[in-house]
Structure 1
Amino acid sequence: MKKKVVMGFLGTQLDSGLNASRWEKWRPTVSIAQHEDLIVDRLELMHDLRNKPLAERVRDDVVQLSPGTEVRLVEMNLANPWDFGEVYGALYDWMRAYAFDTEREEYWAHITTGTHVAQICLFLLVEARFIPGVLLQTAPPRGRQAQGIGNYELIDLDLSRYDAINARLAVAQQDAVSFLKSGIATRNPRFNALIEEIERIAVQSKAPILLTGPTGAGKSMLARRIFELKKARHQISGNFVDVNCATLHGDGAASSLFGHKKGAFTGAATDRPGLLRTADKGLLFLDEIGELGLDEQAMLLKAVEEKRFLPVGADKEVESGFQLIAGTNKDLRAEVVRGRFREDLFARINLWTYTLPGLAQRREDIEPNINHQLELASQDLGRKIRMTTEARATYLRFAQSGEAIWAGNFRDLSASLTRLATLGENGRIGASLVDAEIARLRWQWQTNASGSDSTAASLNELMGSASDTLDYFDRLQLQAVIAVCRNHKSLSDAGRELFNISRTQRSVVNDADRLRKYLLKFDLTWDKLSA
């Protein structure tokens, strides 16, 4: 049985009384210890310094009635106990520092005593899960007699009608969104909207989440951040288990995921719990889930739906209450059509699906990510890393241009800035280092830019013999444009990336029309490129 912990304010009027006559009246806080069917293991009693004698008297009375109850006096001095901002802020700070243990304890927020402002703030903290518990309401005995222990009730309220005073919760939500973005002040509107929705889903739902997008787009980092956010909200208590399914092969795949019994196969010398059981009450991130075999997919489906599965070689099912986040750089819809991915598993994990754009689709976010990477490098190297004004301008101009394809996405950017930070003498990155790094990146991406990633072959297929009449300059430019177009779902999206600088200097912006006219010069259309 879990221990019961009650948190509440001292009632300066209702709990008052220092002489013997105090036992003749109903006192809300003391009444908690008077119920024979209610054993409170700990009482966190918040009070002002001026009311310390009364708080100590109430503590002693509670202990006299219930010797097994530990009463902790929490001094909370508020300049204005009717100020929402001050009261909520003080409670919020105290709750964030509190060592909640939801595995062993259950928490009740006592809302009978204290000012109305304090009661409402406790409401909000319970609703926001900063207090991972329920509300406790005590009431005096009914009838004409003033004596008696009264009654109590546990309340689970829908607080949506209190939205007018939820401004502080909005701040907490923005803090959570910033946390999911690793504190990076991203500027891409679509990405920011995506992260805001993921934050809402992460704290309200236990259903699977599917993160898609190119390699290096940040799927693993975001999954870990979701785990840390849910753990901070006391919604999960287990571990974060990160699995790259591309590393699981053959018979060992099922054993790694679902565990095995001793003697299940040659080499199974002992029982193995498996990664799904390791993630019990926590979060399981299956990256590159499209690489799983069909048999493992079937076993995973049962584990996700029923929270039960059969380890290899076992004759009895085991349980694991994990939450699943899956990641993939494949189009699982196409994999289903090809018979490589189970349709029923895809339907189960496709409830909340989010596509993380690559760095080339978020060029406005490159600058804040540069700042973030330099801060990380400063911590790792133990010295402050700075770019000269000229070096920063040169690097940023190249990084945001169409020439920088960022094939490895954020991994490319992180590696690039790590090299610069390491080579910078006395923490100073100058123009010559940036020039050398840009040359290195051009060399690194040369294969992609030259079209050996099949863009050149695609150009010949699209234009036929007409491609032989192109100047080398036009060929390289057109291949780069085609590569960008094929990274987007619409003409407008591709145009926004290709004309990312000049579009800001126009009074009338029509990226799709500009790109359409450019393609028509070569007798190409969006439909041809899409096909």
Structure 2
Amino acid sequence: MTRKNVVIGFLGSQLDAGQGAGRWEKWRPTISLVQHEDTLIDRLELFHARKHEALAQVLARDIANVSPDTAVNLVPMEVADPWDFGEMYAALYDWARSYRFDPAREQYWTHITTGTHVAQICLFLLVEARFIPGVLLQTSPPKKQARGNPGSYTLIDLDLSRYDVLARRFGQARADALEFLKSGIPTRNPRFNALIEEIERVAVRSRAPVLLTGPTGAGKSHLARRMFELKKSRHQVQGDFVEVNCATLRGDGAASTLFGHKKGAFTGAAADRAGLLRTAHQGVLFLDEIGELGLDEQAMLLKAVEEKRFLPMGSDREVSSDFQLIAGTHRDLRIDVAQGRFREDLFARINLWAYTLPGLAQRPEDIEPNVDHLLARAAAESGRAMRFNAEAKARYLQFARSTEARWSGNFRDLSASITRMATLSEGGRISTDLVDAEIQRLQWLWQPAGEAAEAQARDTAAPDVLLPADAAATLDLFDRLQLEAVVRVCRESSTLSEAGRRLFDRSRTQRAVVNDADRLRKYLLRFGLSWEAVRRGA
């Protein structure tokens, strides 16, 4: 079934004008639509202001003379200011939402030659957003004016998926953005790559707050800066990237650093201070370790994020700053909210886009490309070529990917490790001897968090003879270490209640009924122990 052609457009108060006989001697874009012998326009939806009603009637009669099969539907559209984008778009949007489109039986051509430039832009946007289904229609006058010469027309389809060249260009632009966010490192970890792909879309499409969580050294600060630089390259921000570690802010200095102060607001406030929120105006503010902010500062930050306004310390007049917030933390803010250390309303506001960056140990596939990147950077900084020999690189990567490598400092540990080997290399070659020495250094670096701590726990542990033989034989190391720590506290306490108060010093404050002694007695009974038996072993 052939679909009918329906044209949607504005009456041209200048281009379509003319009521005398001479009007047929000039090119009129709306009339030209129905003058093409090979194209039938079945219906014309013609927008016009009421003051142009007479011209619209003339145009409808002329169309009937040229193309009797074309139905003309005159649509009065009153806009107080046709050059006001908001008014024009609202009027066209309301019409489009109420119009009964039937794409199965009709195809729609939106005429953008007539009407104000604002009207043409609004029509473009409505077609691009598919509120008006179909394509754009652009008409052009003939090179030589002649009676009855309709000129030419062009149909423009805004469905970019139909244009392979454009699709490839957009695809390449997105690939470039992803590579930029990853600093050009060809990462291989599927979880991390999927996370970066979503962050790229959010970075270029949204100005809402972003929350980055993850262990220290996972790259939160670096990623926040790359997001800013990506937005800057797309002309989406005009201001600066402002970064502050909230763990360094204390007391009056916290509010002053963030929100500024007036002279004399507190002791030592010798002059006005703008504050970092105002410095970040039209830019990006990165608050690292946001969980360390005090509750008062959290309340002020919430108002600044929601309303773009806040009160500097000592001022009775609000100031404004329009910035995008990126927050970072190594803590689980959900726990902090539950325990009252972080405001629930602020968490809800900054949690719209929340991403957890995995640590280096969780991305073993990405260690090799990061090693190559860091080595190339070290070579560029030193001005001399650097590389592993094959055996040394294999040895280092084998250790780096093993469970023995803790990477507790994540990429900071890896960067420091490569820097040390690059600095000590002879002739720019990293040998197996250097790698073996570096592995020993890393093992020593991580020892306090691992084997040394366990050794210390064993040295100070309570004797095994406290436990019944069958219980001792089946006890996990985790339960054993926990029990030994409890036993030590019991031996250092004079009463069961005192030991309970020390052991349950946090959770006891959240209970309606407190019975520390009973909780401790029941814990010991799980292992066949009593308070008296523990005390006898002291």
Q: By the TM > 0.5 criterion, same fold?
A: yes
What SS does the aligned partner of 2:450 have? helix
What residue in structure 2 maps to residue 396 of structure 1? 397
- Give the CA deviation at 1:435: 0.4
Give the partner amino acid of 2:299: A
1:232 paired to 2:233: yes
Q: 1:271 to 1:360 in 2, by over 3 A?
A: same
Note the 1:204-215 alignment, pairs <5 A.
Answer: 204-215=205-216
The answer to whether the 8 A contact 1:180-1:226 is kept is yes
- C-alpha distance in 1, partners of 2:288/2:158? 36
What residue in structure 2 maps to residue 189 of structure 1? 190
What residue in structure 2 maps to residue 499 of structure 1? none
What residue in structure 1 maps to residue 55 of structure 2? none
- C-alpha distance in 2, partners of 1:141/1:259? 61
**Mind listing any 5+ residue stretches in structure 2 that lack a counterpart?**
1-25, 28-111, 114-123, 129-135, 147-156, 482-538
Identity %: 66
What residue in structure 1 maps to residue 179 of structure 2? 178
The answer to whether the 8 A contact 2:160-2:167 is kept is no
What residue in structure 2 maps to residue 483 of structure 1? none
Q: 1:268 to 1:159 in 2, by over 3 A?
A: farther
Give the partner amino acid of 1:365: D
Give the partner amino acid of 2:371: I
What residue in structure 2 maps to residue 366 of structure 1? 367
- Give the CA deviation at 1:145: 7.6
1:279 paired to 2:280: yes
- Give the CA deviation at 1:328: 0.3
- Give the CA deviation at 1:332: 0.1
What residue in structure 2 maps to residue 431 of structure 1? 432
- Give the CA deviation at 1:448: 1.6
What residue in structure 1 maps to residue 307 of structure 2? 306
What residue in structure 2 maps to residue 406 of structure 1? 407
Residue deviations 1:353-401, cap 9 Å, x none? 0000000000110000000110111112111111111110110000000
The answer to whether the 8 A contact 2:161-2:167 is kept is no
Give the partner amino acid of 1:200: R
How many residue pairs end up in the alignment?
337
Residue deviations 1:241-292, cap 9 Å, x none? 0110000011100000000111211221111110000000000000000000
- C-alpha distance in 2, partners of 1:262/1:348? 32
Residue deviations 1:308-344, cap 9 Å, x none? 1110011111111100000000000000011000000
1:375 paired to 2:376: yes
- C-alpha distance in 2, partners of 1:470/1:162? 67
- C-alpha distance in 1, partners of 2:437/2:471? 34
1:249 paired to 2:250: yes
Note the 1:66-465 alignment, pairs <5 A.
Answer: 165-450=166-451, 452=453
Give the partner amino acid of 1:354: Y
- C-alpha distance in 2, partners of 1:137/1:224? 43
- Give the CA deviation at 1:439: 0.3
Give the partner amino acid of 1:170: G
The answer to whether the 8 A contact 1:213-1:329 is kept is yes
- C-alpha distance in 2, partners of 1:226/1:455? 44
Q: 1:285 to 1:168 in 2, by over 3 A?
A: same
What SS does the aligned partner of 1:445 have? helix
- Give the CA deviation at 1:426: 1.6
- Give the CA deviation at 1:163: 6.8
The answer to whether the 8 A contact 1:208-1:323 is kept is yes
Residue deviations 1:9-41, cap 9 Å, x none? xxxxxxxxxxxxxxxx99xxxxxxxxxxxxxxx
- C-alpha distance in 1, partners of 2:455/2:258? 36
The answer to whether the 8 A contact 1:243-1:286 is kept is yes
Give the partner amino acid of 2:183: S
- C-alpha distance in 1, partners of 2:473/2:445? 29
Q: 1:137 to 1:268 in 2, by over 3 A?
A: farther
Q: 1:274 to 1:141 in 2, by over 3 A?
A: farther
The answer to whether the 8 A contact 1:450-1:456 is kept is no
Residue deviations 1:153-196, cap 9 Å, x none? xxxx9766657542210111011011100100000000000000
What SS does the aligned partner of 1:210 have? strand
- C-alpha distance in 2, partners of 1:235/1:400? 39
- C-alpha distance in 2, partners of 1:469/1:378? 55
Instruction: Give the superposed CA RMSD.
Output: 3.7
Could you tell me the TM-score, scaled by structure 1's length?
0.58
- Give the CA deviation at 1:452: 2.4
- C-alpha distance in 2, partners of 1:281/1:159? 33
What SS does the aligned partner of 1:234 have? coil
**Mind listing any 5+ residue stretches in structure 1 that lack a counterpart?**
1-24, 27-110, 113-122, 128-135, 147-156, 480-531
What SS does the aligned partner of 1:166 have? helix
Q: 1:236 to 1:272 in 2, by over 3 A?
A: same
Residue deviations 1:66-106, cap 9 Å, x none? xxxxxxxxxxxxxxxxxxxxxxxxxxxxxxxxxxxxxxxxx
